[in-house]
Amino acid sequence: MKKIQLFSRLLLLFVFTSGPALAATPVPKAPSVGAKGYLVEDFLSGQAIAEKNADQPLEPASITKLMSAYVIFREIRDGSLALEDKVRISEKAWRTPGSRMFVEVNTQVSVADLLKGMIIQSGNDATVALAEQVAGTEASFAALMNHHARELGMTHSHFVNSTGLPDKEHYTTARDIARIARALIKEFPEYYQWYSEKQFTYNDITQYNRNKLLWRDESVDGLKTGHTDSAGYCLVTSAERDGMRLISVVLGTKSEEARADASQSLLNYGFRFFETHKLYDGGEKLTSARVWKGISESVDLGLAETLYVTIPRGEYKNLSPSMKLQERIIAPVSKGQTLGRVILQLDDKLISEKDLVALQAVDEGSFWQRIVDEGLLYFE
């Protein structure tokens, strides 16, 4: 592949979007927290800032309900379910052990109330009722959960229930949990606001959100707690400060206080020592390339999605971007076809690598054009 440097472009972008250059800040090691596994990553770039056992399958407890919520939100978006729909509470849902919304068997409860009961109160009864409404049985709903998990790239997860009650075949990882958290925030901002609500009253019973950071840190606006004896105390948190959003996942701590403290430490570390920049918009022309035997002699190249990068504070000026293009591009070319790579390095360390794609299609040229280009290629 041909390598093309992008230094001048990145420099201009830096001058016009980043303000005065800041001195690099020495980055210490990530905080040591007492968890079986953890991960803190940037929401926009998806880059991990700190991690421990992030790909080790662990019990998620009620963190599972993030996956359940995603499935239900998809059903609402697709028109198969509505917030005002009434759900009959089955005996199975009513009898489900663990945290509860305190719905009563055979009553009719709106999808909106059940979602709040699941998200804010972590109600197992509400979650099972919603699962049965969507898929008929909780087992069938778990199959939907696994389907959507695969679509999201959650390659180390498997769900057998909607609530997170212990089962040896029910597991996920810190990295997979961060992936579903990002999907919820990105795809369903209209429902994400429920994760910041501190209390919910149903049937004259008021219960409080178990995420202590909602009270401690005004930048925190979600997401979910979890606890069983075998999983320990877990917490997925998202916070936004000065336009930068981080997601932290902490699994298997020893207490409510420990999971809150660990999450706060990881968030503070990420915000203090790292920064995120937008480099290139999705669909923006970054370069063009010669196309042989096509109706057009060139094709514009860019990224399918906007590219963000997360780096240590003050290191922006040391980013080294480059592109590698396919040696010979022969028509036909389809829109979105991968024709190279955009590579970002910081002090010779690979930071990010993304596909460089065709921004438009190029059909085959005429018979005469193909013959001419075949001759020219002979001398290339």
User: In which domain, by residue range, is 154 found?
Assistant: 37-253
Residue 11: what pLDDT? Answer: 39
Beta bridge partners of 108: 88
Is 62 marked active-site? yes
Q: Are residues 221 and 338 in the same domain?
A: no
Q: Let me know whether 126 and 70 are in one domain.
A: yes
Q: Which of 65, 116, 212, 293 is catalytic?
A: 65
Q: What is the mean pLDDT of residues 48-65?
A: 96
**150-174 tens-digit pLDDT:** 999 999 999 999 999 999 999 999 9
203 with 287, same domain: the answer is no
Name the region of 174 (left: φ>0; alpha: ψ -120 to 50; beta: rest). Answer: alpha
The whole-number pLDDT of residue 16 equals: 34
**CA nearest neighbour of 174 among 269, 77, 52:** 52
Q: Of 334, 342, 178, 360, nearest to 270 (Cα)?
A: 178
Q: For residue 133, what is the domain's CATH number?
A: 3.40.710.10
Considering the domain architecture, whether residues 155 and 198 belong to the same structural domain is answered as yes
Residue 375: pLDDT band (50, 70, 90) is: confident
Active site (annotated) includes residue 324: no
Residue 267 counted as domain residue: no
Answer whether residue 134 shows pLDDT above 80: yes
Say yes or no: 92 and 145 in one domain.
yes
Q: Which of 45, 122, 162, 265 is flagged as catalytic? A: 122
In this structure, is residue 261 part of a structural domain? no
Check 62, 68, 157, 162 and give the catalytic one. Answer: 62
Q: Which of 297, 241, 107 is nearest to 117 (CA)?
A: 107
The yes-or-no verdict on residue 13 having pLDDT over 50 is: no
Encoded tokens for 342:
């955009």
Enter the pTM of the model: 0.88
Quick one: DSSP state of residue 361?
A: -
Q: What is the pLDDT of residues 286-318, one digit of tens each?
A: 999 999 889 999 999 999 999 999 999 999 999
Strand spans (E) along 189-243: 199-202, 205-208, 220-228, 232-241
CATH of the domain at 371: 2.60.410.10
Q: Confirm whether 65 is a catalytic residue.
A: yes
Q: Are residues 72 and 163 in the same domain?
A: yes
